[in-house]
Amino acid sequence: MSIKKIGLMDFGTRSKTMDSLSIIESIIDDAVLAEKLGFYRLWYGEHFITSANSPWFSPDMLLPLICGNTNSIRVGVAGVLVGYTAPIRTASGYKMLNNLFNNRIDVGFAKGTPGGNFLPYFSQPKINSFEEGMQHIQNQVAAISSLLYNEEEHVKNGIILSPYKGAIPSLWNLGGSPNSYQASLANQLNCSRTLFHKGVNLEKGLDNLKAYREDFYKQYGRLPEVNIALAGFTSPSKAKRKEVVALSEAEFDFVEPATRLCCEPQELFDKMSAYAEQYDADEVIFFDIARDPDDRRESMAWISEVFGMKNKQQLVA
């Protein structure tokens, strides 16, 4: 299957010489460029890290800025730490945002935790085991999905999410373990299979993914969106690629070296296409590991060039 859509994932990690607000300005410029280059969507990660120049914990306040400076590219969060957020706030906030910006908002759900130093500042029920934690997350996702998809049922109980009968944002399950496909099916979630996290098992879950697609179609009368998430950097310069990898290995300890695509543009095209074929996915979300804004923009331009994306924003009309 040929790749028809390419998106970008961004955690806001940049050179330590940049301050937080400078990074935000750079990210907005990147979004404008990404739309011009033909990228299909932009996803911004929610992560709670201790860093003097981290531009955000949650990207919620960034999304309107990105949408206001672009016209058609999809914009979203990947993903909301659903174990630590109130379903009513998540559902109502992103529904409003989606209707303010022409139905182009994505909401991804992640199972991660903020980190022990942040936990005292979150409201969360006491969790006594891993199993309880997973069940809590499933309950949270189910509540968000219900609030958005079962609008009339909630209206009967006096709950209306503005705007009434407004467009629902695109909902995504992030991860792709075999157990998560059933949750995706039950809650009408699209699926993003992450292949760049350390320790990923590339074979695990392939049969489940096929069954999820088939069952989703039977249940809802449409196919879900499925994409794969890869990490890397591309440039014709071997020296620059080596420099980017060295910094990445020092500061991105969660990226799996075996699936990291740090290579020249044509090789990136070949490897990304092979992964897409393996997972029967026509879309790739690319997490660029470069820290320098100029390096990232060079990488974006080469991806656009090698995939023939420029001025072809709507590749799947």
Number of domains in the chain: 1
- Residue 184 bridge partners (DSSP): none
| Residue with the larger pLDDT of the pair 312 and 96 | 96
Stated pTM of the model: 0.93
Cα R_g (the chain), whole angstroms: 19
Residue 112: which pLDDT band, with cuts at 50, 70 and 90? Answer: confident
If you average pLDDT over residues 90-108, what whole number do you get? 98
pLDDT tens sequence across 169-198: 999 999 756 667 888 999 999 999 889 988
Tens digits of residue pLDDT in 150-175: 999 999 999 999 999 999 999 999 97
Residue 199 lies inside a defined structural domain of this protein: yes
pLDDT digits (tens, 9 = 90+) for 15-41: 889 999 999 999 999 999 999 999 999
Q: Is residue 142 in a domain?
A: yes
Using alpha carbons only, give the angle 285, 85, 125 rounded to the nearest 5 degrees: 130
> Taking 50 as the threshold, does the pLDDT of residue 304 lie above it?
yes
Mean pLDDT, rounded, for 223-249: 93
How many whole angstroms separate alpha carbon 312 and alpha carbon 305?
Answer: 11
In a domain, 55, yes or no: yes
pLDDT for 230: 96
**Residue 317 forms part of a structural domain:** no
Query: Could you give the percent of the chain with pLDDT greater than 90?
Result: 70
- Segment 207-235 shows an average pLDDT of 92
272 HSE (CA, 13 A, CB side):
32
Q: Contact, 161 vs 97, CB < 8 A?
A: no
SS3 159: coil
Closest CA to 213 of 228, 191, 194, 230: 191
* Residue 313 belongs to some domain of the structure: no
- In sequence order, the 6+-apart residues with CB closer than 8 A to the CB of 207 are none
> How many angstroms separate the CA atoms of 266 and 307, rounded?
9
Q: Specify the pLDDT at position 202.
A: 76
Residue 298 lies in a domain: yes
Domain span holding position 259? 5-306
Q: Do 61 and 93 form a contact (C-beta atoms < 8 A)?
A: no
CATH number at residue 297: 3.20.20.30
